[in-house]
Structure 1
């Protein structure tokens, strides 16, 4: 599927959007506004034919039940309320909810088959409610815009725009013009009441939301210019982000390697990325038959988002934690997270030239709970695909796949029995995201935290919000953390952000300084990346302080601003078939602090039959508190799962089980105060250098085999980390140091670099990348027999040098991409 530049995207926009980008409003192409509104009505309310289908009955019942509940709340409202219990005037979230409730009533009056269909009384109450809210709480610009900017510029306008579409034209009256004036005025992050592509707020999913609203607003007022400009503005999100040629300074969006960034530096496919996906697919449906021209290749771009961006991150129907930002602390599960993704895939299948792979994928994924679908039409379409016996089930992922999302510092390694997901950080990508009282203890989530998903397991029992609730934030699997106690932002400052508008950096709730130092601070290291060779991979990272600590030491931040110093470590992960090998060196707590590296933390229900077994280096059975283990095995007999840990170096390992009870509110202030109890397994190392292998689904016999097994640690220090897998014929390494080339086995590597070399079947394949994303070229010399080139990626050259063969890749502006060459 294509990677499109902004210029290519503009060439594919329907004539309406293209003219809006180049012509004055008076010359904008004509739009069939009635068709656009009818399409939108069908998306949200369904059609008589669709709503009569049995698969849609549940959705229709939910629409009706929500409306009746809201009408009852209106009947019971007290003074100053539109809905009972929803106090207005100081809480912007409550105001957004009030508009949402009006939308839900209006939806039930337009959904064919609903008992409230065309109910004039209910519709009048919606219109009156819109007028009442505007007069008291939305129309006064001087009193509004408190709290979260998103509610005023996106949340409320979304509900208002859709509600106006749902109301009969005769009831809209002056409401449309009144609200458009106010919504334009509240678009303060824009320009002259419109989208500003140079605004840091008008990017990615936020831009898609704002422009979708403005398309509807233009259709309601028959304003061709508003519609066409909104289409053109939204179309910019289809362009693949080129970090070396940014448009409007925007880093948010999809990258060539499938990465998705929102908030400038947060890996966010699993939250904002899916919002963007569903919004642009809805726009494609809204615009069907609306104007001349076409956007035939844009659905192909979205297909690539799904195949390269979403599919690797969805394991047996679960959205992985590494791309969810602060949403990891929410009570919705990874299964429900993909509901809107599945809906978008089902809808997209009607727009792409070859829809069969998408239909196969929908059959392959576990059946979705269609209650999370937005559109009744989508439910019917999805049900038809699932029921089609001529479509076989097939994953969009190969059975074996390793994906380096280097543009967002993430790696995913998949095998039929498991998936391994790794979260890194750098000077380009944030260590974590905290905001609005969500993800209260995120400090180490980008410091090499990893998640090992086992096939056939209910991932709600292993990960999700309960994992972050029960497991200490200092003991997330894979994390190296200093031994200390930190305080959350609300504990430190008494609010959800740090407030100091008088400081030169102007700390307010949505300021750039708040983003940089509180909400999603970046790291300070350049080395974070890796390479893939077929289905195998290597990744590395140098752990550093975040931007806040660095700035505090430089005297740039206020005295009362609290910043925490991080531990140090140089780490590598080598991903093979049966194991993931982890190396660490230079591990230090800094400033005299102790430091702990967590090999793994796993949760289980208290009643689960959990066992922990192991063996010492002398072959005797290991017991907690005894000498260093050669291997450990954690098994959950109730769930039929197991993970093994084969230690390749000898060092003390603290391992054990603990029953933990904690409220979900510990990780998110708005979570229900629901205590959960989990049996928590933790294994940790306190030494400065070590090597071990994670072995998914291991038996004790599998772990004993590592005594003379295929793995050899070739180097493990702050300069070079390398392993050899004899059975696979692979040598893999990270060279962290620059300067003279470093010898690794029969290789001579010019660092910094990530390298894999595999020799099999008389051929040698070399894969290399620049994890710093700063080098002009990376090279490796393979010593030994004269090798001849079979094939190579563009930018790779091969030539004979004394004693071996030089493979060199031009990595200038490649943003961590892997280059390969095959020789014989």
Structure 2
């Protein structure tokens, strides 16, 4: 059967995506018509239409537009010397210049929004155009004086505001006949990471969300100029963001973008679905709306690709309307994350549904309704970019025939191995796990944001409980009040680290004279300061049905390896040691750790969990000692189990201690300013009740082995039962092999970390590998295998006992009989850590 163009596009091939571009329009008239449609669509997207703006649901959005515009006009009236707006001194501050341009756009927007009190106000529009002239003459037009500070403002931010302002006021440009061409020439000149004033797909600055922003700007500039070549070139460049990244066959050496397992990466190595990823989603959906009916592209052919992003990349990371911490990069330190992040994704889903085929459209509309019904914070549609989206959202909520539905099952385990993250979900909870490796950064710090990030990629976990307001447990206040050395799940050395501003007096390390050329946006700054990678290859895991296994070898970052190459005053920090596994079941998350210690003679700590609650909440900690006597925290004891309860919120988490020494339990009110995690945060004091449970590792002690389980929602009675008749059995816990059996599920999970043959509970595997084996009824055995190093070619697993035959299996799986059992060989060559599954019969 011949592939349709839609099927070709869905295959995400680079060649197929180029089919989105139709033949060139027939002559100048067609170009002019298409350009006019692009501009009209753009105005409708941002300003709304007469029909949508007449709806009562858009009243708040319109009121906000007008209020913002009037405030901007008042600020212009009160501006002083070297200011267009009061308080924004220009000449040396690129952020102020970017803000000035944005405020001009916001004023122009109110003059084009039907229903606005400023609609068609020629006087206001002239003030905006005069402002554009004034800024260009004094602070933007001389490129030899510009381009100080953040490259983003010059290549993307300012251009976004200028371009949209010119689109909104295109009919008023007659009084300034050269303004359009003058600004386009300047915007091209500021595209310094490009080539000859255009996009450079080989530039590390022109990738992912950044590329989508730049190319959308250039599409609109081409429409304003009636320049078909500019539009088509920008579209061709933007199409590259739709191609699934193949890490073994990179195009333009770009690792930024969406991966086959749903991962999204920006900045080369940062897991970034919840920040840059949502920015890319927003931009491409807006572009699809702008292209609609213009004749320049078959935009509808891209919709299936974007739908898979939402279904496979975003939906697993959203829990009851909250975006998980593990994919926000430095944005975790901002005051507005979580529910606010998801509002952006909801708007994109609403608009995508208007473009999608009926099956996908219905799924998206049901998902929007599902988020609204499960979120513990109201979603304010007035925050949407487009009044049109506000109306579509209202229509979805009002559709009684639509049943709310998630885009995935309530019970699932998702291995985002391409970005070293794991999500495990059940109806009552979700666990998000942040891993790192030589491929993926340990954290992201930049521009005074996320000041104390050091351990966020070292197995930090976030356990979200159903029915709770997640702002009370996580978000910026979690990082503000929980010690950066005591994040949940982290093994850290006992030491005091200093933030980048404390170390160097600036928001970055400045040493342009060094051979590594440390400047604010240099590659060296990225590699050693902003988002350093680790040194270990081992980070990954397997998924079998709804169950999962994950593993990571903790390491120092590249700065420690390259200490001799770095300047003498550059500070590096060595990490603690640990080899860790997580086995993800229904009621329990079992964690094994071996080789644990502070390293280099230092003491260390391993935090089992850290939870926050409002300071006034009724929080209690109870437990049982190994000798059978009760425990009431805080304090330190040899514990069998522990339970944290927030009676006020009706939430609880249990902990079962399977192996290890005494556990130190803390419960205290912590008060800190949000500015401790981000220099631009308001100096707002936050008080939280902070619970912690941790193992301490003495300086110079032998590396420890630990085993414990998180049991969300468990009762005291259930936790007591684990010691006597619990289903969990630690089969092996060393730096070579870690394995756990769950007797109730008939499930064995194992992670091998070294080469050679490893044996556990009737299974042997040549490591390193992640393996899950479930021996089901009627002779069925299910198996999942993954390569957590991404470097192996073949993994061999032997199941000892009766001989089995292959029932169903992924391509690349071979089954053969061996003395005493069955060998399963799995071709994992260039699979980038994905799981291979098989069902064996016999």
**Alignment TM class, shorter chain as reference:** over 0.9
More divergent stretch after superposition (443-452 vs 29-38): 29-38
**For residue 66 of structure 2, what is the aligned residue in structure 1?**
64
For 1:160-239, list aligned pairs within 5 A: 160-171=162-173, 173-239=177-243
> Equivalences for 1:324-723 in 2 at 5 Å?
324-353=328-357, 354=359, 355-366=361-372, 368-552=379-563, 555-623=564-632, 624-687=634-697, 688-707=704-723, 708-723=725-740
Q: Distance in 1 between matches of 2:400 and 2:54?
A: 22
Distance (whole Å) between structure 2 residues aligned to residue 42 and residue 26 of structure 1: 24
Asked whether the equivalents of residues 766 and 796 of structure 2 are also in contact (C-alpha less than 8 Å), the reply is yes
Counterpart selection for 2:767 from 737, 751, 755: 751
Q: Is the 8 A contact 1:14 1:295 kept in 2?
A: no
Shift of 1:656: 1.5
- CA displacement at 1:195 relative to structure 2: 0.3
* Cα pair distance change 1:780/1:26, threshold 3 Å: farther
Q: Name the SS of the counterpart of 1:161 in structure 2.
A: helix
SS at match of 1:349: helix
Q: CA deviation at 1:36?
A: 0.4
Report the secondary structure of 1:600's partner residue: strand
Q: Structure 2 matches for 1:761-776, cutoff 5 A?
A: 761-762=777-778, 763-776=780-793
How far apart are residue 605 of structure 1 and its match?
1.2
* TM superposition shift of 1:9: 1.5
Q: Secondary structure at the match of 1:290?
A: coil
DSSP 3-state at the match of 1:87: coil
Task: Give the stretch that moved more between structures: 289-298 or 679-688.
Answer: 289-298
CA contact (8 A) 2:278 2:344 kept: yes
CA contact (8 A) 1:28 1:224 kept: no
1:726 aligned to 743, 763, 767, which one?
743
Partner of 2:302: 298
1:263-320 deviation line (CA, Å, top 9, x unaligned): 0000000000000000000000000111166244310000000000000000000000
CA distance, structure 2, for counterparts of residue 182 and residue 651 of structure 1:
65
Aligned partner (choices 8, 19, 38) of residue 11 of structure 1: 19
Give a deviation string over 1:699-750, Cα, whole Å, max 9, x none.
10111121120000000000000000000000000000102x1111100111
Residue aligned with 1:486, SS: coil
Give structure 1 stretches of 5+ with no counterpart: 20-24
Task: String of CA shifts for 1:180-220, please: whole Å, max 9, x gaps.
Answer: 11100000000000001011100000000000000010011
Q: Distance in 1 between matches of 2:449 and 2:792?
A: 37
SS at match of 1:39: helix
Residues 775, 8 of structure 1: alpha-carbon distance in 2 compared, 3 angstrom cutoff: same
Alignment partners' CA distance in 2, 1:56 and 1:42: 13
For residue 131 of structure 1, report the CA deviation from its aligned partner: 0.5
SS of 1:198's equivalent in the other structure is: coil
Deviation at 1:169, TM superposition (A): 2.2
Using a 3 Å threshold, how does the CA distance of structure 1 residues 292 and 556 change in structure 2: closer, same or farther? Answer: closer
**Cα offsets for 1:645-688 (capped at 9, x unmatched):** 00111410000211111110100000001111111111101241
Q: Equivalent residues in 2 for 1:20-31 (5 A)?
A: none
Cα displacement (A) at 1:779: 1.5
Alignment partner of 1:365: what SS? helix
Partner residue in 1 for 2:134: 132
Structure 1 residue 173: Cα displacement:
2.4
Q: Distance in 1 between matches of 2:531 and 2:583?
A: 28
- Relative distance call for 1:648 and 1:602 in structure 2 (3 A) is same
Residue 143 of structure 1: how far off its partner (Å):
1.1
Partners in 1 of 2:572 and 2:114 — Cα distance?
56
Deviation at 1:15, TM superposition (A): 3.9
Distance in 1, matches of 2:144 and 2:366, equals 53
SS of equivalent residue, structure 1 residue 159: helix
Contact 1:595 1:686 (C-alpha < 8 Å) held by counterparts:
yes
- The secondary structure found in structure 1 opposite 2:146 is coil
Partners in 1 of 2:76 and 2:553 — Cα distance? 57
Aligned residues: 815
Q: In the alignment, is the contact (CA less than 8 A) between 2:415 and 2:423 conserved in 1?
A: yes
The answer to whether residue 807 in structure 2 is matched with residue 798 in structure 1 is: no
Decide whether the 8 Å contact of 1:36 with 1:219 is kept in 2.
yes
Residue pair 2:668, 2:689 contacting (<8 A) in 1 also? yes
- The corresponding residue for 1:812 is 829
Q: What is the CA–CA distance in structure 2 between the aligned matches of 1:653 and 1:570, rounded to whole Å?
A: 19
Contact 1:3/1:256, CA 8 A, preserved across alignment:
no
Q: Does 1:35 align with 2:37?
A: yes
Q: Report the 3-state secondary structure (helix = DSSP H, G, I; strand = E; otherwise coil) of the residue aligned with 1:170.
A: helix
Per-residue CA deviation, residues 231-266 of structure 1 (Å, 9 max, x unaligned), is: 110011000000011000000000000000000000
Unpaired segments ≥5 residues, structure 2: 1-6, 373-377, 698-703
Cα deviation per residue 1:159-181 (whole Å; 9 max; x = unaligned)? 00000001142335211111111
- Cα distance in 2, alignment partners of residues 26 and 533 from structure 1: 57
Cα distance in 2 between the residues matched to 1:484 and 1:635: 31
How far apart are residue 95 of structure 1 and its match?
A: 0.6
C-alpha contact (below 8 Å) 1:30/1:291 kept by paired residues: no
1:58-137 aligned within 5 A: 58-137=60-139
- The corresponding residue for 2:3 is none
Distance 1:541 1:31 in 2: 56
Give the Cα separation in 1 of the matches to 2:298 and 2:500: 49
Q: How far apart are residue 591 of structure 1 and its match?
A: 1.4
**C-alpha distance after superposition, 1:321-356 (max 9, x if no partner):** 000000000000300111111011000011211211
Please tell me whether the aligned partners of residues 15 and 29 of structure 1 are also in contact (alpha carbons under 8 angstroms): no
SS of alignment partner, residue 656 of structure 2: strand
- Summarize deviations over 1:122-174 as a string: whole Å, max 9, x none: 00000000000111111111111111000000000000000000114233521
Cα deviations by residue, 1:763-806 (Å, 9 ceiling, x for unpaired): 10010000000000112100001112110001111111111111
- Distance in 2 (CA, whole Å) between partners of 1:660 and 1:176 is 55
* Counterpart-to-counterpart distance in 2, 1:6 and 1:595: 49
Larger mean CA deviation between 238-247 and 331-340 belongs to 331-340
2:125/2:172 contact within 8 Å kept: no
Q: 2: CA distance between counterparts of 1:539 and 1:634?
A: 25
TM-fit CA distance, 1:761: 2.0
Q: State the distance in 2 between where 1:393 and 1:229 align.
A: 41
Q: Does the 8 A contact of 2:636 with 2:664 survive in 1?
A: no
Aligned-residue offset at 1:29: 7.2
CA distance in 2, matches of 1:397, 1:16: 40
Q: CA deviation at 1:79?
A: 1.4
Question: Are residues 16 and 424 of structure 1, via their aligned partners in 2, closer, same or farther at CA, if it must alter by over 3 Å?
Answer: farther
RMSD: 1.5
Residue 355 of structure 2: SS of its match in structure 1?
A: coil
Q: What is the match of residue 375 of structure 2?
A: none
Partner of 1:297: helix, strand, or coil?
A: helix
1:40 CA displacement: 0.2
Q: Which moved more, 1:624-633 or 1:676-685?
A: 624-633
TM score, norm. by length of structure 2: 0.95
- Distance in 2 between residues matched to 1:154 and 1:249, nearest whole Å: 22
